[in-house]
C-alpha cells in the first residue's frame, strides 16, 4: 500500500501558542488511522492544518506526492481530502438536501452527483426521509450522519473525521463507527480523531497518541490498545 498522506515535522501556532510541536505522521492508502489523545492535545489542530484552515509555520504535508502545506482550504478539498469537522458544523438554516449539494460544491458532473446522493441516502436512510427538512431540526445522530454524507459528496480519497462520537449515545456511537468501517471498505482512506480511544482503536489499523502537541506513541492499533501505557492513560485502566 502506497503512502497517501505524509506529514513531516510540522509546527502550528495559534497566535503565540505553539499548538503542534513537530508532528510527523503517515496515512497509507486504504487504512483507517486514528489520532487519539486528551482534550487540547492538538488533534483537531492537526486535522485543521491538513484541511488548510490553519497554515503550518514550517514542515511539509504531502498528499499523493503533492505538497499541500499552506494551500487554502477550498483548494485542498479539490485534491481529494474532505473533513467532517468537530461538532458537525452542518448548515442548520439550510435543508438536508442543500447541505448535501454543498458537499458536492466542487463537482460539475450532475449525473455523478445524483448517483452519490443516492449512495448517501442508501447509507443513511433517515436523511432521505428528512431531505426537505431544515438541517438544524435533526437530532444529534442525524446531524452527524448528515455531516458525514456531506463530506462524502465530494467523493474524497481521504476522509478526515473529527470526534464523530461527540455527544452521542453509546448505541448511536456503535452505529456511526460501523458506518465508518463500511465507508473504509468501499475504498475511502480514513484519518479519525477521537477522544473515545476504545472505539477508535477497535476499528483502526494504526494509531498515533498525541500529548500536548507531540506524538508520544504510535503503531499497530491492536498492539496500542493492549499496551499498559495507553490503557492507563486513555482507556480507563
Instruction: Work out how close the CB of 105 gets to another protein at its nearest, in angstroms, rounded to a whole number.
Output: 5
Q: Which is nearer to another protein, 72 or 219 (CB)?
A: 72
- Please list, in sequence order, all residues whose beta carbon lies within 8 angstroms of the beta carbon of residue 57, skipping any fewer than 6 positions away: 10, 11, 12, 13
Contacting residues toward another protein, per CB under 8 A: 51-53, 72-74, 77-78, 82-83, 85, 89, 91-94, 98, 101-103, 105-106, 150, 154
Q: Which is nearer to another protein, 91 or 121 (CB)?
A: 91
Q: Which is nearer to another protein, 2 or 15 (CB)?
A: 15
Cα gap 188→30, rounded to integer Å: 6
Q: Which is nearer to another protein, 73 or 119 (CB)?
A: 73
Cα gap 67→52, rounded to integer Å: 12
Instruction: Work out how close the CB of 134 gets to another protein at its nearest, in angstroms, rounded to a whole number.
Output: 12
Instruction: Work out how close the CB of 91 gets to another protein at its nearest, in angstroms, rounded to a whole number.
Output: 5
DSSP 72-127: -HHHHHHHTEEEE-TT----TTSBHHHHHHHHTTT---HHHHHHHHHHHHHH-HHH
Cα gap 55→70, rounded to integer Å: 5
DSSP bridge pairs for 17: 14
Instruction: Work out how close the CB of 88 gets to another protein at its nearest, in angstroms, rounded to a whole number.
Output: 9
Q: Which is nearer to another protein, 37 or 156 (CB)?
A: 156
Cα gap 100→148, rounded to integer Å: 10
Instruction: Work out how close the CB of 53 gets to another protein at its nearest, in angstroms, rounded to a whole number.
Output: 6
Q: Which is nearer to another protein, 152 or 207 (CB)?
A: 152
Q: Could you give the count of Cα atoms lying within 13 Å of 190 in the half-sphere of its Cβ?
A: 30
Name the packing angle between helices 110-123 and 170-185 (round to 10°).
140
Q: Which sign does the torsion angle of CA 69, 74, 77, 78 carry? A: negative
Instruction: Work out how close the CB of 127 gets to another protein at its nearest, in angstroms, rounded to a whole number.
Output: 17
Amino acid at each position: 500500500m502506497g503512502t497517501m498522506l505524509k506529514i513531516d515535522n510540522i509546527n502550528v501556532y495559534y497566535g503565540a501558542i505553539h499548538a503542534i510541536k513537530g508532528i510527523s505522521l503517515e496515512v497509507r492508502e486504504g487504512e483507517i488511522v486514528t489520532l487519539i489523545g486528551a482534550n487540547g492535545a492538538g488533534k483537531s489542530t492537526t486535522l485543521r492544518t491538513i484541511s488548510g484552515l490553519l497554515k503550518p509555520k514550517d514542515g511539509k504535508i504531502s498528499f499523493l506526492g503533492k505538497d499541500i502545506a499552506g494551500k487554502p482550504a477550498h483548494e485542498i478539498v479539490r485534491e481529494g481530502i474532505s473533513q467532517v469537522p468537530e461538532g458537525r458544523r452542518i448548515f442548520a438554516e439550510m435543508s438536508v438536501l442543500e447541505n448535501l449539494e454543498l458537499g458536492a460544491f466542487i463537482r460539475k458532473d450532475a449525473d455523478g452527483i445524483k448517483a452519490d446522493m443516492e449512495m448517501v441516502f442508501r447509507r443513511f436512510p433517515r436523511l432521505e426521509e428528512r431531505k426537505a427538512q431544515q438541517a438544524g431540526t435533526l437530532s444529534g445522530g442525524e446531524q452527524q450522519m448528515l455531516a458525514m454524507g456531506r463530506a462524502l459528496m465530494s467523493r474524497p480519497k481521504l476522509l478526515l473525521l473529527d470526534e464523530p462520537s461527540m455527544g452521542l449515545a453509546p448505541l448511536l456511537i456503535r452505529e456511526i463507527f460501523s458506518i465508518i468501517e463500511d465507508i473504509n471498505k468501499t475504498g475511502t482512506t480514513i484519518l479519525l480523531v477521537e477522544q473515545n480511544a476504545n472505539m477508535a482503536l477497535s476499528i483502526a489499523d494504526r494509531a498515533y497518541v498525541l500529548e500536548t502537541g507531540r506524538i508520544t506513541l504510535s503503531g499497530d492499533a491492536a498492539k496500542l490498545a493492549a499496551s499498559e501505557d495507553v490503557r492507563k492513560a486513555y482507556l480507563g485502566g
